[in-house]
């Protein structure tokens, strides 16, 4: 199997509509930002990519600090979000080079600066983690809940995939809080600040996350849900089975389970909707060096081969698009064909099943299920 890479021009053609509309991964940025960056790129070298986007982000970050110093709250907030979006692009799709790791730190700095202006209680927390030699000793998370609320609320633990970290789910803050839920944003194994890489047993992370949740008086520990997206949907499907007695409801959105790890699908997905470095970015999240190592390793992740799918699970909602070219809809069908009965909502669109109805449907299901 040969590695496939789009050219810079092809990537821009692929992403230009997103740049114009401010869609993933170009949220909080402008079309002009990307029009400045792409003509300067001579290759897809990771550090050169990070440098090009950081050069556009740096002046915006300076404007944010100047506005904040002058007491211009609205301008400071807008500029911090803008700079965050550009530094996020600088580290995109993942932190697999020195330049991208540095850009990620800057994106986090800008992100945390924006939280000073949010109408929610926003807390950066460090969750103790005890793992294997070489793994970290804590997971960083963001705990978000209504301001000045003394009520113990149900909690949604949320994580995304290989290129979307805990800082990148800003669109979900408001609907989760409006649904009278609290939110814990974490990184799935192998991304962001996660203390361990993905592996056949990295669901160990959720042992520690749920132990932390049980000690927080603001959280109703009997009403904890989880929501994982894209590759994070793989972990959501898995913990719905392995942690079924500790999670009241789980959403697996756009995830993989078995067919995605086969050579036929890997070959097909290289030419799908993911702009560049899909296999390489997956490899990074699972501690592998690149394309060939991912192809060799990933069959071991099959939830079917691991025997997970035939175990009972908690209440599980499956969401995706029937035209997904990143992970096959057949993996969702496989989940429906094994183990406990599940709920599903599929949309006639691409990866993650994104439509104007998708997130409201998920939030409503979580709120109704956690409060049932």
Specify whether 17 is located in the same domain as 135.
Answer: no
- At residue 195, the pLDDT reads 98
Of 117, 149, 170, the position where a domain reaches its end is 117
Overall average pLDDT of the 152-179 stretch: 97
* One-character DSSP codes across 296-341: HHGGGG-TTTTT-TTS--SSEEEEEETT-SSS-HHHHHHHHTSSS-
Q: Based on the domain organization, do 76 and 134 belong to the same domain?
A: no
Answer with the one of 95, 117, 139 that is the final residue of a domain. 117
Q: What is the CATH number of the domain that holds 77?
A: 1.20.1440
> Has residue 1 been placed in a domain?
no
Enclosing domain of residue 333 = 120-372
How many domains does one find in the chain? 2
Nearest CA among 234, 212, 225, 139 for reference residue 182: 225
Q: Which two tokens stand for residue 212?
A: 């932390």
Give the span between the Cα atoms of 213 and 216, in whole angstroms.
5
Percent of the chain with pLDDT over 90: 97
pTM of the predicted model as reported, rounded to 2 decimal places: 0.97
Q: Are residues 93 and 218 in the same domain?
A: no
Token output for 275: 């702009």
What whole-number distance in Å separates Cα of residue 79 and Cα of residue 212? Answer: 34
- In this structure, the answer to whether residues 98 and 172 fall within a common structural domain is no
Cα 292–Cα 293–Cα 294 angle in degrees, nearest 5:
90
Q: What is the pLDDT of residues 344-362, one digit of tens each?
A: 999 999 999 999 999 999 9
Q: What is the pLDDT of residue 259?
A: 98
Same domain, 129 and 106: no
- For the stretch 191-242, pLDDT in tens is 999 999 999 999 999 999 999 999 999 999 999 999 999 999 999 999 999 9
Q: Which of 91, 139, 136 is nearest to 111 (CA)?
A: 91
Output b/e per residue, 250-286; b: 16+ Cβ within 10 A.
bbbbbbbbbbbbeeebbeebbebebbbbbbbbbbbbb
Q: What's the confidence (pLDDT) of residue 372? A: 85
Together in a domain, 153 and 90: no
Domain assignment of residue 2, yes or no: no
pLDDT over threshold 80, residue 2: no
Q: What is the mean pLDDT of the chain?
A: 97
**Res. 277: pLDDT tops 90:** yes
Give the tens place of pLDDT for each residue, 111-156: 999 999 999 999 999 999 999 999 999 999 999 999 988 889 999 9
What does the alpha-carbon distance between residue 12 and residue 8 come to, in Å, rounded to a whole number? 6
């Amino acid at each position: 199997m040969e590695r496939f890479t789009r050219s810079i021009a092809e990537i821009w053609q692929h992403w230009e509509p997103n740049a114009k509309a401010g869609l993933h991964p170009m949220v909080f940025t402008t079309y002009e930002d990307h029009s400045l960056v792409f003509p300067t790129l001579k290759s897809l070298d990771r550090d050169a990519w990070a440098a090009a986007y950081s050069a556009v982000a740096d002046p915006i970050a300076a404007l944010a600090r100047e506005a904040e110093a002058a007491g211009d709250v609205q301008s400071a907030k807008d500029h911090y979000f803008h700079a965050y979006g550009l530094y996020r692009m600088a580290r995109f799709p993942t932190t697999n080079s020195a330049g991208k790791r540095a850009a990620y730190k800057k994106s986090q700095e800008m992100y945390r600066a924006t939280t000073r202006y949010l109408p929610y209680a926003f807390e950066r927390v460090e969750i103790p983690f005890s793992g294997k030699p070489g793994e970290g000793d804590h997971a960083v998370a963001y705990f978000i809940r209504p301001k000045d609320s003394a009520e113990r609320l149900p909690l949604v633990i949320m994580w995304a995939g290989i290129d979307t970290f805990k800082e990148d789910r800003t669109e979900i803050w408001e609907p989760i809080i409006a649904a009278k839920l609290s939110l814990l944003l974490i990184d799935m194994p192998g991304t962001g600040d996660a203390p361990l890489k993905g592996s056949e047993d990295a669901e160990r992370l959720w042992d520690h996350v749920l132990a932390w949740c049980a000690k927080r008086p603001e959280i109703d520990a009997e009403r904890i849900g989880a929501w994982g997206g894209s590759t994070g949907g793989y972990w959501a499907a898995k913990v719905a089975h392995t942690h079924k007695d500790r999670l009241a409801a789980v959403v697996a959105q756009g995830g993989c389970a078995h067919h995605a790890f086969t050579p036929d699908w890997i070959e097909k997905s290289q030419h799908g909707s993911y702009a560049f470095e899909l296999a390489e970015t997956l490899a990074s999240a699972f501690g592998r060096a690149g394309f060939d190592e991912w192809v060799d390793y990933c069959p071991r992740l099959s939830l079917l081969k691991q025997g997970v799918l035939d175990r009972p699970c908690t209440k599980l909602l499956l969401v995706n698009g029937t035209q997904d070219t990143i992970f096959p809809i057949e993996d969702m069908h496989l989940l429906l064909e094994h183990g406990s009965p599940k709920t599903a909502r599929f949309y006639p669109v691409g990866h993650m099943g994104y439509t104007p109805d998708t997130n409201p449907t998920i939030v409503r299901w979580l709120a109704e299920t956690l409060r049932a």
